[in-house]
Structures are given as C-alpha cells and as structure tokens.
Amino acid sequence: MARYRAPRGTFDILPEDWPYWNYVISKAREVAALYGYQEIETPIFESTSLFVRGVGEGTDIVDKEMYSFKDKGKTDLTLRPEFTAGVMRAYVEHGMHTRPKPVKLFSIGPLFRYERPQAGRFREFHQFNVEAIGSQDPALDFEIMSMAWQFLEELGFKGLSFQINSTGCPKCRPIYVEALKKYYMEHYDEICEDDKRRLERNPLRVLDCKNPKCQPVIAGAPKITDYLCDECRDHFSALRRYLDTAGKKYTLNHRLVRGLDYYTKTVFEVWAEGIGAQNAVCGGGRYDGLVEEIGGPPTPGVGFAVGIERVVMMLKAQGVKVPEPRAPEVFVAYLGESAKEEAVMLSQELRSEHISAILSFDKRGLKGQLRDANRWKAKYTIIIGEEEIARGEVTVRDMESGEQSNIERKTLIGWLREKLGKKS
C-alpha cells in the first residue's frame, strides 16, 4: 500500500495515457494553425479578484470551487479555474488591442476547481482553450463554433450534439430575468430548495436544475429568445444562418445558460455520448463585457474550451485508434562484463547518430536482455560478446524476421542508417 496517493480529484497521466494526450494536443495545435490562432501561456495562479470580477460572484466557480490562498507576501491568489479571465488580463496588460483584430489566441494547460469528483469531473483538469478578441461579428462566433466542431470531428468522435442559445446582453437580459423570476414566484411551491437559493443569487441557473421535481416548471418557463433586443436577435439569427448554410446540425436549447457570468449573446456546448453524466466536452460563447469588467477598454470577444480528460475518456470509450509511441530502433545486448562496456559506448554512439537505442542495466543475462528487447518492440537487436569484439564484429538480429547477420563494427552505423532509411 502506497503511503501517499494523488490528492482526491487529481490523477497521474501515465506513460500509457500519453499517446492519447499527444494525439489530442497535436490535433489542437493543428486546428489552431488552420484557423490562424496563436499560442499564449498565462500563469497558473492570478489575483483572486480577477476571477471574482471576471467569472462573477454568485457563480458556483467563485462561490464554492476556487483554490484561493494568501501567499507569504499576503497577496490573495487563486489557482486558475478557467482560462478566459487570465487571457483577457494578459490582453489588457500587453496592450494587445493595437494588434490586428480579432486577436486570436489559444492555450493548453491545467485548471483547478474544488468540485465533487466523479467520472469526468476532476479537481485538476486540462483544457484546450480558444479566444477571439476584438470583434462583434457573428461570423466570428461561427468561426469559433466551426473550429470546435472540426477539432472534435477530426479526433474521430461520433454522436456529437451541438447545443446553442443566446443569453442576451445587459440591455435585454434583465428584462428576461424579471420575467423568469416572476414566473418562478408563481410556482414557488413546486421548486426545489436549491432553486429558491438560485433565484436570489443567480436566477438563470434555475433553467439548469437537474431535480426531477423542477422539470415541469422549467418546461413552462419563459424563453430568453423571446426577450432578446433587436441587436441580440439579429446577431443570433445571423449566426444561425451561417450554421444552416454550412449544413451544421445543432439543437436550439432554451435551457442552456452556462455557469460563468461573463457570457453575452451566443452560448454553446458540445455534448458527447458515452462518458456518463458529465457529457459536455466543450463549452463557450461570447463575452462582450468581460474585458471592461476587469478594467480594460470595451472589447468584445468569443471563445470556447474543450475538456481534455473528457475527450480522452471518449476516445478510449469509442475505441478510436491513436498513433502508438515510436519503438526504439535498436536494442543493444551484451554477453559478459567487457562486452557490457562496449555496449554502453555503442548505445551512446547510436544516439549521437540519432538512432534511438536502449539497453539493459544491472546484472542481466542474455536471455533476460532478449526478453527486454521483445518487450520494447525494438526493430533490431545488436548482440555483442567477447568473440564478436575480438573479430571486430557485432551480431544484428532483425526482430521481425528473426534473420541474423554479422556486421563489421566499423560499418555498423552506416549499415543501420541504410536499413532504417535515414539520410546521412
């Protein structure tokens, strides 16, 4: 029994998981390049108040889930629970508004939320996060959604469902919220205690309630799309026109409100089959007031984030084949102590020639070494014994065909380079 275990809600990404992670991360970089997005890395912790202002008081993230602490200089800091607020902080801090707009940025990295862990929900998790900053154009909302779409589809997902909604703007949303509250007050006895609290703190979240008791009330609730101002309505219909013209299938989901306060107009999620209750692999939307909220100039923006753990779970569940890690090209085996020295030196020479090479350590007999070579799935095994050294030769076994040849030590590197198809 190990004395220490990874903290609850965290996990190790083991070597056998990395082919999946590398596959997802390289696809993220590939798609980002296709759409003209550049990478940005922000600190893992930021001022606590950045998230309180950005994500919003009354949201679950700020009220319950932040890893906040004072450092030794008594500064209030928080491990980032999401990327968007930090990326906007960097945008303002570095005066990025002078760059050609929209400024298109992506990030890949860990986030922290003190949530109740379950399948697909962790306390440390990772996102591929994308932001397009500085344009109100609904064509940019379309671009962002298309990018999420292409990323997930090219990973090999089946059964994706796109959910979209508009959450209006500070002009029209308050009118909707009043109508929603009024309706809920009329049904006060039919709703759960959580919803009664939500009505006070964050009324839109009642639409997201999973309690069976509340479902009939939600079904009859007023719809935000009936309350949108002209600007929000035009924006939403332009986006839907783009989606329709492109033949993208989506569900107009009146209950989709998202858990962060900064959203305006477009919100969307991508749900996937086969990963249980936590089925949102991607969430995003427009946040036209966020930069101003954190002290920058009025700047619109739109973006999304994909949860990498959920994507990896899905790839495994759907049996998607990912590229295997490359096996070593050469395994160097030795017979006896003086041959061992020769083997150690030869492995070093091979690596400096960019031929990947491994060997066994400690006292290991030839049989055991050959078993290691098989386990590593090396292409060739070189066997060095005292006799071979005396003859100035080595034995090379092609591990696939089993064919064995004696090669002059002097010509070995050239011989291997040719066999491995390496240019000299």
**Interaction site with ligand HAM (CB under 6 A):** 82-84, 113, 115, 121-122, 125, 127, 129, 131, 259-260, 280-285, 287, 303-305, 307, 309-310
**Smallest gap from residue 111 Cβ to ligand HAM (A):** 7
Give whole-number Cα distances, 336 to 105, 359, 363, 389, in Å.
Answer: 57, 14, 9, 11
Give whole-number Cα distances, 38 to 22, 41, 73, 93, 176, in Å.
Answer: 19, 10, 34, 17, 37
- Residue 85 or residue 199: which is nearer to ligand HAM going by CB? 85
State both tokens at 225.
């799309």
**Smallest gap from residue 11 Cβ to ligand HAM (A):** 11
Would the CA dihedral through 100, 144, 85, 308 be positive or negative? negative
- Residue 56 or residue 307: which is nearer to ligand HAM going by CB? 307
State both tokens at 423.
């240019």
CB of 77 within 8 A of CB of 70?
yes
**Smallest gap from residue 112 Cβ to ligand HAM (A):** 9
Q: How many residues in the chain?
A: 424
Rounded to 10 degrees, the C-alpha dihedral 207/213/216/218 comes to: -10
Neighbours of 156 (CB within 10 A): 15
**Smallest gap from residue 83 Cβ to ligand HAM (A):** 6
- Residue 281 or residue 399: which is nearer to ligand HAM going by CB? 281
Name residue, tokens 């999973």.
210
**Residue nearest ligand HAM, Cβ-based:** 307
**Smallest gap from residue 303 Cβ to ligand HAM (A):** 3
- Residue 82 or residue 393: which is nearer to ligand HAM going by CB? 82
Q: Where are the alpha helices (DSSP H) in 249-336?
A: 290-293, 308-317
- Residue 9 or residue 336: which is nearer to ligand HAM going by CB? 9
One-letter amino acid at 301 equals G
- Residue 154 or residue 178: which is nearer to ligand HAM going by CB? 154
**Smallest gap from residue 191 Cβ to ligand HAM (A):** 24
**Smallest gap from residue 41 Cβ to ligand HAM (A):** 16
Q: How far does CA 227 lie from the centroid of its chain?
A: 34
**Smallest gap from residue 24 Cβ to ligand HAM (A):** 12
- Residue 305 or residue 373: which is nearer to ligand HAM going by CB? 305
Distance CA 300, CA 134 (A): 5
State both tokens at 14.
């083991």
Q: What are phi and psi of 41, to 5 degrees?
A: -120, 125
DSSP codes of every residue in 152-203: HHHHT--SEEEEEEE---TTTHHHHHHHHHHHHHHTGGGS-HHHHHHHHH-G
Whether omega for the bond prior to residue 102 falls within 30 degrees of 0, making it cis, is yes
State both tokens at 324.
């295997």
**Smallest gap from residue 360 Cβ to ligand HAM (A):** 40
- Residue 82 or residue 195: which is nearer to ligand HAM going by CB? 82
- Residue 113 or residue 198: which is nearer to ligand HAM going by CB? 113
